[in-house]
Amino acid sequence: GEKFAMCTANTILPNGEAIFVLDMVTGRLIGAGYNTQTGGFTNTYARNLAADFRVVDNAQYVMVSGTSNIRSSGGGLPPATGVIYVGELNSGLVNMYAYAYGSGNRTFQNELQLIASFPWRQSLN
């Protein structure tokens, strides 16, 4: 089996992208948003997917990116236009994750936000 997966997704800047890496051994999803204004990665993201899917052993993930118009909850950084979808075989769930994006010279650390979930099959747990 695969030990990790990667995908890219949009930020809010023209030609800006974020890269996400899913460690399939630990269930940890991390990412970094590239800032075209500074020429570096100024936004970082993390999430424990194993906890979200309630799997302990033998998790089997698949990940793709998409685009969505997530509404801002106010007070924080604006949401990016990209989203990450992760499916897990044993739980039978697909989760949608969103992330905020800050476009200045500052560095931002954010947790990926679980936005929605749906079952695509009966759980094997």
Burial 57-83 (b: 16+ CB within 10 A, else e): eebebebebeebebeeeeeebebbbbb
Its pTM stands at 0.91
Q: Which amino acid is at 103?
A: S
Average pLDDT over residues 110-121: 94
pLDDT for 53 equals 96
> Which structure tokens are listed for 30?
């991390």
pLDDT in tens, 33-82: 998 888 899 899 999 999 999 998 889 999 999 999 888 776 678 889 99
Q: Rg (Cα) of the chain, in Å, rounded?
A: 15
